[in-house]
Chains A and B, each alone.
Chain A
């Protein structure tokens, strides 16, 4: 749930990277930290890892200040993907405004993807959130690997869901990371605009919202 402080004209937003263990959530965030050049960008906090696997969460704060004076903050979180950290996952997921589900494209990982997606639906429900109305982007990562399921199959499989089209990425190489993030911003904007009149009261339209929050140093591939 976004948090708006009228006295400070400050809007706090939260986006969570969710997905199975080792699918590349942390990698996504590290790449965003490198690639993004939004108006404001804080330090990337990689909280605690064991063998490179997230134990608590990672967090990257970014922000923009509109000409109308709205101070908008967006905190990007990753959850730990390993099954046993479910209560941490749930705590981090709580009050999220949007979710990027990072799936692993490798054929061998499809069961893990499904389990993690069920777990997302489950935890959203426990937190009183509705997966159908939550801005959600599904990213299939690790496109560079040889046994990645081919794109046509994946897109066809997801075509009937509210989350089509899928976003494809190779986070290790910085590919598709910013695009996935932009796709989420585009799905997030209408929800926020309805609630906070971003365009009407704060002079932020959809295009400015996406552009300013996801300005990149250089497009990795045009």
Chain B
């Protein structure tokens, strides 16, 4: 049967065996051969169920008995049908309930997947926000630091310039006086030795003041923080300044070898570019020992300017390389560095539409390449 309410056929209610057995029993009762048939036969009595003729009772019985026998079969069929209907209905509703359950299950799974995706999305957005905040924080920190250093440097430079000026001129005058003094002092071996020594002292002092003056000039470039707009920068000059500063800052002598090719001017913030160079140089200086060498080169290839800072120091292990641009990441002992160095350098490079590339091998050294594209190269 298709649906519980579709009209059954005789075969739906009684199997062929059961039909034969029922026929036999009724035949035995009635005293003649009797059989249930699906097809109409001459002289057969119709078997009705639900106003439907679903079969025929065929038999060698008197009409009256055949009629009674047919009603008996219908009576039996009614109870068989009741059971069938109930069973089919039960089956229908069970299937419907199961289908409904499956539908609900699928809907539940779908909504679960939706929520999962949503939560992953949220997680991603939180991480993005954290990155943005970290970056802003880092920039803020850097700006404040640069400003403080710049102000200090500018103040120191200003204060030092005057005394350096009169020290220098006084030293020169002292030299002249010495010459005059030499003429007036009576000749003698020990006196002339003393005067030569004196002259040497003055010469050394003068070269010392010149060195101080140069450092002050470098400091002024380095702390050029109030520059709001891009101005044409001489990268080689900035590199040289940064190297001087590195050497001045270091306790030991550092072997820095410059190999600079002529470069076009690049639009940028000089103070920031110096900062980027200095940070990379500073890392290189910390990676090398007494025999170490830092090679600083610049070159122009088509419209790309490359600044290469290379050392033959300890190198950076691969796992550290992955994180070296993370803000606040440092491999050095706490206190010896903020860890901001390379991350700041990278940000500065980005601000100049440039990039920073790292190539390092443990035990062999590190090469940092700073690439700028300069659009206005002929």
A-to-B contact residues, CB < 8 Å:
14, 40-43, 45, 47-48, 55-57, 59, 61-63, 73, 75, 77, 87-88, 90-92
Which of B91-99, B164-172, B247-255 lies at the interface with chain A? Answer: B91-99
In this complex, how many residues of chain B approach chain A with their Cβ under 8 Å: the count is: 17
Q: Cα distance A216–B173 when bound, in Å?
A: 145
| Contact pick for B78, options A14, A43, A55, A91, CB 8 Å | A43
Give every chain B residue within 8 A of A56 (Cβ-Cβ). Answer: 85-86, 89-90
Q: Is the interface of B mostly helix, strand, loop or mixed?
A: helix
Asked whether, in the complex, the Cβ of A57 is within 8 Å of the Cβ of B89, the reply is yes
Q: Top 6 nearest A-B pairs by Cβ distance? A: A87-B93, A61-B50, A42-B51, A56-B86, A63-B51, A91-B93
B328 within 8 A of A: no
**18 sampled A-B residue pairs with Cβ under 8 A:** A42-B49, A42-B51, A43-B50, A45-B81, A47-B82, A48-B82, A55-B86, A56-B85, A56-B90, A59-B85, A75-B50, A87-B96, A87-B97, A90-B93, A90-B96, A91-B89, A91-B92, A91-B96
Q: Cα distance A41–B51 when bound, in Å?
A: 7
Asked whether, in the complex, the Cβ of B82 is within 8 Å of the Cβ of A45, the reply is yes
B5 within 8 A of A: yes
Asked whether, in the complex, the Cβ of B93 is within 8 Å of the Cβ of A88, the reply is yes
Q: Cα distance A73–B49 when bound, in Å?
A: 13
Asked whether, in the complex, the Cβ of B5 is within 8 Å of the Cβ of A88, the reply is no
Most buried by B among A40, A41, A92: A92
Give every chain A residue within 8 A of B82 (Cβ-Cβ). Answer: 45, 47-48
Q: Cα distance A92–B48 when bound, in Å?
A: 23
Given the known A-B contacts A87-B97, A91-B93, A91-B96, are A45 and B51 also in contact in the complex, defined by CB atoms under 8 Å? Answer: no
Given the known A-B contacts A45-B81, A47-B82, A75-B5, are A88 and B51 also in contact in the complex, defined by CB atoms under 8 Å? Answer: no
Q: Cα distance A45–B5 when bound, in Å?
A: 12
B4 within 8 A of A: yes
Q: Cα distance A41–B89 when bound, in Å?
A: 23
Give every chain A residue within 8 A of B49 (Cβ-Cβ). Answer: 42
Q: Cα distance A48–B81 when bound, in Å?
A: 12
Q: Cα distance A174–B243 when bound, in Å?
A: 114
Q: Cα distance A45–B78 when bound, in Å?
A: 8
Asked whether, in the complex, the Cβ of A73 is within 8 Å of the Cβ of B51, the reply is yes
| Contact pick for A47, options B50, B86, B92, B93, CB 8 Å | B86
Give every chain A residue within 8 A of B97 (Cβ-Cβ). Answer: 87
Asked whether, in the complex, the Cβ of A42 is within 8 Å of the Cβ of B89, the reply is no
Give every chain B residue within 8 A of A77 (Cβ-Cβ). Answer: 5
Give every chain B residue within 8 A of A62 (Cβ-Cβ). Answer: 51
CB distance from A8 to the nearest CB of B (A): 11
Closest to B89 in A: A56
Q: Cα distance A169–B92 when bound, in Å?
A: 33
Asked whether, in the complex, the Cβ of B89 is within 8 Å of the Cβ of A88, the reply is yes
| Contact pick for B5, options A14, A42, A55, A63, CB 8 Å | A14
Q: Cα distance A57–B90 when bound, in Å?
A: 11
Q: Cα distance A220–B51 when bound, in Å?
A: 26
Contact with A along B245-286 (1 / 0, CB 8 A): 000000000000000000000000000000000000000000
